[in-house]
């Protein structure tokens, strides 16, 4: 079970929950299940989301495994210069 924390902007799209427990072993599975549970998250997940797993920020590699007990946060995809 993954306990995922949402950034503030996503909370209203997920029944005002800041953290959500999801059964998932990869980022892809996590995002798919979040979308199924909260369809309002579908649009932001498509192109605005990065996922931090144990402090490492993933912007593209949705195949990344989520270890047991990992700290997982949904963050906004950031701009760089």
Partner 1 sequence: MSFDSTYREDDRKLVGTRPVRPDGVDKVTGRARYGADFNMPGQLVGRILRSPHAHARIVSINTAAAEAVKGVKAVLTAADLPDLTDGNQETYAILDNCMARAKAMYDGHAVAAVAAIDEASARKALKLIEIEYEVLPHVVDVDAATRLDAPVLNESIFTSGVEPAPEKPSNVAARSEFGHGDVDAGFAQADIIIERNYKTEQTHQGYIEPHACVANCNSDGTADLWVCTQGHFVFRQNCADLLGLDVSKLRVTSSEIGGGFGGKTHVWAEPVALALSRKAGRPVKLVMSREEVFRASGPTSATSIDVKIGARKDGKITAAQATLRYSNGPYPGPWAELGAMTSFACYDLENVRTIGFEVLVNRPKVAAYRAPSAPMAAFAVESAVDELAQEVGMDAVALRIMNAASEGSKSSYGPVYGPIGIGPTLEAAQTHPHLSAPLGKNQGRGMACGFWFNFGGQTCTDLNISADGTVTLAVGTVDVGGSRASLSLIAAEELGIPYEDIKAVVADTATLGYNDMTDGSRGTFSTSMATISAARNAKKTLCERAALSWDIPVEDVYWEDGHAKASGPKYGNLQPVSIKEIAAEAGNTGGPIAGHSELVADGAGVSFATHICDVEVDPETGATSVIRYTVIQDAGKAVHPAYVEGQYQGGAAQGIGWALNEEYVYGADGRLQNPGFLDYRIPVCSDLPMIDTQILEIPNPNHPYGVRGVGETSIVPPLAAVANAVSNAVGVRMSHVPVSPPRILAALNDKA
Nearer Cβ to partner 1, position 6 or 36? 6
Contacts with partner 1, residue ranges (CB under 8 A): 5, 7-9, 12, 52, 54-61, 63-64, 71, 73, 75-76, 78-81
Residues 35, 45: contact at Cβ < 8 Å? yes
Pairing of strands 72-76, 2-5: parallel
Nearer Cβ to partner 1, position 21 or 57? 57
If we measure between CA atoms, which residue out of 39, 56, 48 comes closest to residue 78?
48
Task: Provide the minimum distance between the beta carbon of 12 and partner 1 in the complex, in angstroms, as a whole number.
Answer: 8
């Amino acid at each position: 079970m993954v306990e995922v924390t949402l950034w503030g902007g996503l909370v209203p799209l997920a029944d005002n929950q800041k953290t959500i427990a999801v059964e998932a072993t990869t980022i892809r599975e996590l995002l798919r299940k979040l979308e199924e549970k909260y369809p309002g998250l579908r649009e932001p997940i498509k192109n605005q989301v990065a996922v931090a797993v144990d402090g490492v920020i993933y912007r593209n590699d949705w195949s990344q495994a989520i270890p047991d007990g990992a700290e997982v946060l949904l963050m906004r995809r950031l701009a760089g210069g």
